[in-house]
Each structure stands twice: as C-alpha cells, then as structure tokens.
Structure 1
C-alpha cells in the first residue's frame, strides 16, 4: 500500500476486488493501469543524488494520462502559456451549458455521441445570438471545456465556456458587448434546448443511438425534454487578464477527482471532501465504499481520442492567428487604455506562475539534488 493518500492508493486497495465483479472497457483498463503506474518504478525514472551529503533518491516518471490527478499540474500550466497569445484586451464571459440528468442513461450508452452534440449545440446557440444583427452581428470566439462530474462524482455533464465579449464582423471590425451577461439567459436556454433535442433526434434517425432499444423511448424522452426548462448559467464579465488566465487554468485540465479531496482510506471505505453548492458552498465530507468510488470515477473516463477542450469561431485553430490579428488591429486605437491587465499597463509580461519541484536535498536540506543515472522501467504485477 502506498503511503500517499490519493486515487492511486484507492486503486491499490479496492481495484482488484472491483475488477473481479465488474468488466472494465479497454479504455477504462488503460486509464486505471496508467494511474496505478504513475510515478512508480514501473515507468522508470531518474536517480538523483545530493551533491553535499550523498543522499540518493529516485524520481519516477509520470504517466501523463489526462485522467490522472498527479499529471495535470504541468499540463495545465503549459496549456495556459499557449493560450495567453489569444487573450484579448476585452471583457470575458463565463457560461455553463448543462445537460438534464434525465439524459444520463443515454450518456452511459453513447457518451461520444452525446458529448459531441453538446459541444455542437452550445456553439450553435452562441453563434446564432452573436450573428444576430440586433446584437453583435459578427463571429464570437469561444473556448469550451467538457466536465462530466459533480462534487460527489455523480454524472453531471456540462460545458464550461469562456467567451470573449465581442464579435468580429465580416468587414473586420470589432463589435464589443455592452451587457453584463452577454445574452439573455432565458433566450439562450430555450434555443440551446431546441438545438440539443433537434441534434439528438437527427442522430437517432441516422442510427447513431442504436443502443437505446426500448420502443418509442427516444421520441418520448425528447418530447418530455422540450416541455422542461433548461438552464444556461452565465457569470458577469471578467475584465482582468489574470482572472481570465485563472479561469483557463481552473477548467482546462481538471480531473473528476483530485488527490487532495481524499481525506482518509479505511478498510472498506473512503472519506471524500466535497463542496455542497446547495448549502452555501460549505465543505463537507462524504463516505463511500471503495468500490463505489471507483465505479463513479470510471463514469468519467472519456472515449479514446475525444477532445474535451475545443475552440470555436475566431479562436478555431484553422483561423485563429489571422482573426486575432484582425481584432487587434481593430482594437489598436484603444489598446493603450484597455490593455490586458495591470501587468501589461506597467509593461510587464503576463505569465502563469510555474510550480517547480523542490531540488533541495530532503536529507540535509542544504545540498542540491543532481541526476546521476537513469532507472529502467520495471514490470509490476498488480493482480
């Protein structure tokens, strides 16, 4: 048993019993295997030695799996550094598009289809409002990140969207948004509901929801969804560059369960910290059977090759450089008054703080650890 309390320790204790009772998909097996091996001798690493006292310590490689809570810090920082070039001196809006929980069963059967429809419907909704001549009359720029979990690891599928507060017209001009909430929430919710239901109905007609086999379930469920209110959450605009970057960092590489939330591992149970949003965001502790925690975590393993971070509009990869240049040219006249963040006003570069691993010797506390050799990967039998 690992001395570290985290997801890896949960897998070490409870995963073998879980696998004896449940069949894992190849994608789930691969993710679990990576998490178990992460930063262990199974992946090899580097042998380090203190230049002062001679103390030696191995530093094992990470698995770099996108579901592993140990591997997201550096990936998050690197991604944010890449996205800084796309930050504009404008306000930003945070919107959340959430699927009704009645679709959770379909998500389990056809995750890739439902997730794809969610991305497409959210963008079509925002693009429709952005192109409206009575609103911004241009193309928006959106970065969307898929999350599939709630604080208790239940299935809660939603998109976090960061949208620049304005639109690029066909003439190359920039139309800034004047609203605190970009577009009316009620109108957004209704249009999003219609687009999502329409896409699901179309996919069903094309045979992409073939695992839903109960007679008339698709038509009945979609008709019921059209009779319920859907909610699109929107947060007031953000106008500081460091705030925008923090939002990018917060949602870009988040995993369903971080190691810091696991408080205690007992013989059969795991104590998990969570935030209760229905009780004034209070931090609480829930107790789950170890195998139940694993079952919930596996719900959030994404299909192979599925991109959970996507860019749309003038932020789409194929046209981002050209469109951003057009926008900056349009904003050039007011750039010195609305330059991105106070740091830029003072002619200081905007950076994301990088967390460096300590290189001092854990034994003598004064020496520096240096690499003296390479550790070959070692096969470990977890069965």
Structure 2
C-alpha cells in the first residue's frame, strides 16, 4: 500500500470535519500550519539545475511542534543539548499513566490536568528519593508528556528518565541498585493519592470551573479504588545509548506520515498502521474515515505555550551545570568528551543542492518566493527560469 500524509488527509477532509465539529482557534492554527507546510503558502526558493535545466521549487517548513514533517531536526538538536547532562550511571525509564476515567476532564481542562500530572509525578519520585531508608538525597528527572496510544485514542502518560541515584546533602552520590529504583506498587499508590488530592484542591481553588462538585466527588472517590498503572525499567545500556533512547521520546508527536497508508478520497477512508501491544506487539492496520483521523489527531494538540518536556531536581535548568559538576566530582568521573568541531564552512564552499532529476547537476537558487496570502491560489506565484 502506498504511503500518504496527514497533510493530504486534512486537505481533503478538514472542511467537512469543521462543519460538524467546532475547532478552537489554536486547533485551526495547527491545521493551517500542517496544510501550509512545505507549500507555496510559506514561500521558499526557485532553483535551477546547471546540467539538465530543471526548475523545481523548495518551500519552507512550518516548524509547528504538532507537524509530523517538522520534528526530526528539533529532536536531533535537543539530543545534542542533552549530551552534556548524561552521568555515567544506570538510568531508569518510568511511565506514569493517567486513568482514562479522567479523559473527559482533560478535554475541558487540559492545561490544569497536564500540569498537575507533572507536579504529582515529581513529588512522588522526589519523596521516595529523599527517604533516608531509600536514597536519602535529591533525584534528577527529565519528563516528557505523551497523550496518545497507538490508535490515536487519548492515553495520557508521562515518560520519565531518571539517573539511578541521588545527590546527598553531604556532597556524595547515593547509587540505586542497578536493576531497581523504587517499588512500583508503592509508587502507584503514592501517585494515586497525590494526584487525587491535588485535583480536589484545584477544584476548590476554581481551576476546574467546568466541573461540578458532585462529579468531582464521584469520579475521585471511584479512582481511589483501583491500582494505577506505573511502569519502571532500567536502561542497561552504554551512556551514549541513553541519549538516543531519551531522544526517541523528546519530540515524538501523535502521528507520523509513515503510519498512514492508502488514502482513498472517493471513499474518504485512510488505513492507519499500528502496533497491538495486547497481541504480542504485532503490526496491524485499521481503517478510519478521514474525518475520524482528524478528530483523533486533534485530541493531542497541546495548549498553546505548554512545555511538554521538563527537567526536575539536579537536572533543572537553573542548577544543572553546578549540580552535575559536583556529582561528577563525587563519582570521580570526567565530563562528557565534546565531539570534535566540524571543519569551518569556508573550507567546503557550497555549490548547490544535488539535482534529483539528472543526478549529476547542481541546483542553484535563482529567486526567492514570497509567502502567499490566505486564499491566494498557488498557481499565481511562478518564477520563470
């Protein structure tokens, strides 16, 4: 089956979806960014091949964090910035999952629920780390919010990468066991009680204004009964591998174009490839209407300005450099070796882009294309070579 793209599905189905489903201004903005990405709407360059004379256009990217075509470079740059923060210890990957009973609350108060999730997870882990019977020190954590499952349904969870140990008040490093950080069941119950308590307080403070007192009591009382899902696993790998592992979660978005197959505009259906973890992680394909795909995708548009990757403890931005230097001294470990600097660009003069048509010539910029105004046809912007 041929691959398609979210952009193609939106171009064909967004207007029909909007007729029956209200979109917030921010959702409209995200949709227009995806529709305009790498098209004449954003402007770009006119190119010409010095061998075959081909004259293609190169358009700008939208760089929206929800766009499936604009996250690779951002992820790579983020990974490079994190290399200096890696310690020569075993790291642990933990996942704290929000019960799906709260999905309706996420729909109406996403920013409040997401912020309380970050706050509760850090409070839980730091309380365990500061316990004198456990690590007796300050923990470090990098947390990344994901809101989706493989089939794009709402599945809110927090991925946490934690160095295996704590920094003691006496300036020493208190290591955790190589394959063990904290007991999962105890983490689950502490997490459950902490988040329920914070949700009650948020309602009393008026931060959950679209809920009723009866609903809050009913839902939160019921949530205190079942066990909440918490996952913990050590990353038994080399330090440089931990960086790549962390990068896979840093800028991942709900959907990549590689998972979309065989979009049929006549039937308004698209095939979505997914991994079924309940069936041995087998790869499967499900068929959705274009409008249903858009609906599921828009569930995961984050509130404007919301930071989905955060650092805590001795990895917090305000104290990271100082704390890491002290921890490395306590571990008698040198700082990470910086990668050798690349040769200056002046020594390798740029001679154009490779031509995909003749594969021998080089493409050179012949004109700059201004962005199109909203509603202006793409064909109105032409450049004669």
Cα-to-partner distance string for 1:276-327 (whole Å, 9 max, x where unaligned) = 0000000000001111111111111001111000000011011111111111
Unaligned stretches of 5+ residues in structure 2: 343-351, 378-385
1:169: Cα distance to partner?
1.2
1:117: Cα distance to partner?
0.6
Mapped partners of 2:209, 2:128: distance in 1: 33
1:35: Cα distance to partner?
0.5
Mapped partners of 1:316, 1:326: distance in 2: 14
Mapped partners of 2:203, 2:263: distance in 1: 43
1:370 to 344, 350, 364: 364
Mapped partners of 2:284, 2:114: distance in 1: 30
Give the match's secondary structure for 1:15. Answer: helix
Q: 1:238 to 1:350 in 2, by over 3 A?
A: farther
- Are the equivalent residues in 2 in contact too, given 1:90–1:239 (CA < 8 A)? no
Give the match's secondary structure for 1:257. Answer: coil
Give the match's secondary structure for 1:223. Answer: helix
Which position in structure 1 is the counterpart of 2:61?
62
1:379: Cα distance to partner?
2.3
Mapped partners of 2:125, 2:183: distance in 1: 11
Mapped partners of 1:118, 1:362: distance in 2: 48
- Hey, which bits of structure 1, 4+ residues long, moved more than 4 A? 347-351
1:179: Cα distance to partner?
4.3
Which position in structure 1 is the counterpart of 2:235?
237
Mapped partners of 1:350, 1:220: distance in 2: 59
Answering whether residue 107 of structure 2 is matched by residue 113 of structure 1, we say no
- Are the equivalent residues in 2 in contact too, given 1:94–1:161 (CA < 8 A)? yes
- Are the equivalent residues in 1 in contact too, given 2:90–2:234 (CA < 8 A)? no
1:374: Cα distance to partner?
1.3
Answering whether residue 295 of structure 2 is matched by residue 295 of structure 1, we say yes
Which position in structure 1 is the counterpart of 2:146?
147
Give the match's secondary structure for 2:275. Answer: strand
1:373: Cα distance to partner?
2.5
Which position in structure 1 is the counterpart of 2:274?
274
- Are the equivalent residues in 1 in contact too, given 2:138–2:168 (CA < 8 A)? yes
- Are the equivalent residues in 2 in contact too, given 1:181–1:237 (CA < 8 A)? no
Mapped partners of 2:155, 2:296: distance in 1: 11
- Are the equivalent residues in 1 in contact too, given 2:187–2:230 (CA < 8 A)? yes
Cα-to-partner distance string for 1:43-75 (whole Å, 9 max, x where unaligned) = 001222223333221111100100000000111
1:174: Cα distance to partner?
1.1
Q: 1:53 to 1:278 in 2, by over 3 A?
A: same
1:238: Cα distance to partner?
3.1
Mapped partners of 2:330, 2:150: distance in 1: 42
Mapped partners of 1:219, 1:69: distance in 2: 39
| Residues 239-248 or 79-88, more deviating | 239-248
Could you tell me the TM-score, scaled by structure 1's length? 0.91
Pairwise CA RMSD: 2.1
Could you tell me the TM-score, scaled by structure 2's length? 0.90
Q: In the comparison of the two structures, how many residue pairs are matched?
A: 365
Mapped partners of 1:239, 1:274: distance in 2: 27
2:250 to 227, 249, 252: 252
Counterparts of 1:55-204 in structure 2 under 5 Å? 55-204=54-203
